[in-house]
Structure 1
Amino acid sequence: MSPAAAPPNPRLVLLAAIVLPGMGHVLAGRPQRGLGFAFFTLIGAWLTTKFAAPDADAIARHAAGLFVWALSIPDAYRSARLRARLSAREG
């Protein structure tokens, strides 16, 4: 039996989540959740682009995707902090 991998630094997970949607969750050990956030970020951005007014700026044209991305950032950080706490209790 191999020992469990050490949990990643929550700040590194936060940085990864800010840079790329879903990557923070992957680093925090929750790849399915990360894939879900990445998928819905892309779908939300695409849908908003299709239904936004023609004169809308770039942020308005991708608002739904940016909203999902913004929700994923603190979620990934919380997941990493929780994993680090649980690992500290066990070890």
Structure 2
Amino acid sequence: MSTSDPSPAPVSPYLVLGAAIVLPASGHVILGIPVRGLQFLFFMVVLAWVTARISPPDASFVGRHAGGFLIYALSILDAYKIARIRTAKWAHNARTEGNDTQSGIEPHT
């Protein structure tokens, strides 16, 4: 049996992408997985600190904190990927729920 209440649309992947770019871990918070965002923040700080300690003194700011910027970029990609997958699943489920009655396929009882 299918339910008549469609699930609410997920958050726009572009909103999640923009939030993740502006403020680290905010994309994960919007998606409802703040612990994952905090994990990214923790490793961002740790790797930025490690690369600042091992980099030469004449390196640029980005070069001194390259580890943190790497994790920052990965967290942006991760939040966007999760949002895109949720949106694709929602769209697929909405399409298939509407087609079950029109395709003539009898539900298995």
TM bin, normalised by shorter chain, reads 0.7 to 0.9
- Once the two structures are TM-superposed, the CA of residue 4 in structure 1 deviates from its matched residue by 6.6
Would you say the 8 A contact 1:28–1:83 is kept in 2?
Answer: no
Higher helix share: 1
Give deviations 1:26-51, integer Å, cap 9, x for gaps. 11222121111111111111111122
Give deviations 1:3-59, integer Å, cap 9, x for gaps. 976421100100111112211111122212111111111111111112211111101
In the alignment, which of 46, 51, 56 is matched to residue 54 of structure 2? 51
Would you say the 8 A contact 1:8–1:80 is kept in 2?
Answer: yes
In the alignment, which of 38, 59, 66 is matched to residue 35 of structure 1? 38
> Does 40-49 or 80-89 show the bigger shift?
80-89
Query: 2:7 & 2:50 partners in 1: Cα distance?
Result: 40
- Amino acid across the alignment from 2:70: F
- Amino acid across the alignment from 1:38: L
Question: Larger C-alpha radius of gyration, 1 or 2?
Answer: 2
What residue number does 1:7 align with?
10
Would you say the 8 A contact 1:48–1:62 is kept in 2?
Answer: yes
> Does 54-63 or 21-30 show the bigger shift?
21-30
TM-score by length of 1: 0.84
Query: 2:42 & 2:7 partners in 1: Cα distance?
Result: 29
In the alignment, which of 57, 67, 70 is matched to residue 67 of structure 1? 70
- Once the two structures are TM-superposed, the CA of residue 72 in structure 1 deviates from its matched residue by 1.2
